[in-house]
Amino acid sequence: MTFALIYHDIAELSEVERVGFPGLAAARYKLEPRQFEAHLDAIATAGVQVGLLSERPHASLTFDDGGASALSAAEALERRGWRGHFFVTTGRIGTPGFMSADEVAELARRGHEIGSHSDSHPTYIGSLPRPELAREWTVSREILTGILGRPPTTAAAPGGFVSPPVIEEAARAGYELLMTSEPAHRPARHDGMLVHGRYTVWSTTSAARAAAYARGEVGARAGLWLAWQAKNVPKRISPRVYETVRQAWARSGPDRLRRRR
């Protein structure tokens, strides 16, 4: 079994708004370079094998969104002999704060796995009707095929809100592996496609906690699972109400970001 961690962008506090998605909600997931290096050092010290899911390692590092810091994150992995999964929001390729098509192709040439993170990164992809879901997965796959010269086999659902139609349409689009934000490590097979959970890393996640996720420590995993469940229930009942509360919480973000210094 593999314990997969979700990272997003790596940026200095002064650059947070210029790298990846802007806004306080997105900033909650961004680490400063020194924090990220400390995370990788802690994971390396933990002595776990890190690699791509296809290699069945003990831990796998994944990066969502396709922000401009992806190449820097990849270089940090490569210095340790590791490779990671980079899930790209194809509608953002070549726009400010995100990778260009050439950079996406370069990551693939360097041995990293490139996958889809949908085309437009809907806030709650699980609430979309099937025609829109189909478009998100198929358009993204077509764009990445044009960049990579081969169809991508992996995808990651944005927003952390996954429904059965999300899984079914991803499988119908041709993906072989779909990664979610559910903090789980036992994969399940749906419609011929493997569905694999991941453990989210926040800007406030310590290096020791990241290493605990990578090791698969029960206590660390249980705490994140309980927090995820507490959010997932209101998301399913009313995404609109949940989003209102989430935005209100995010507006208190500047004080938390300042405490990261």
For the stretch 144-165, pLDDT in tens is: 999 999 999 999 999 877 899 9
pLDDT confidence of residue 160:
73
- Using one digit for the tens of pLDDT, what is the confidence trace for 211-241? 999 999 999 998 888 887 776 665 554 555 4
pLDDT confidence of residue 240:
53
How confident is residue 255, by pLDDT bands cut at 50, 70 and 90? very low
The full 3-state SS of 25-70, as one line of letters, equals HHHCCCECHHHHHHHHHHHHHCCCCECCHHHCCCEEEEEEECECCH
pLDDT confidence of residue 249:
45
Return mean pLDDT, the chain: 90
Percent of the chain with pLDDT over 90: 79
Kindly list the structural domains of the chain, giving each domain's residue range(s) and its CATH number in brackets, ordered by start: 3-259 (3.20.20.370)
- Using one digit for the tens of pLDDT, what is the confidence trace for 87-139? 999 999 999 999 999 999 999 999 999 999 999 999 889 989 999 999 999 99
- Among residues 74, 69, 99, the alpha carbon closest in space to that of 84 is found at 74
Tell me if 162 sits within 8 A of 145, measured CB to CB: no
- Using one digit for the tens of pLDDT, what is the confidence trace for 37-86? 999 999 999 999 999 999 999 999 999 999 999 999 999 999 999 999 99
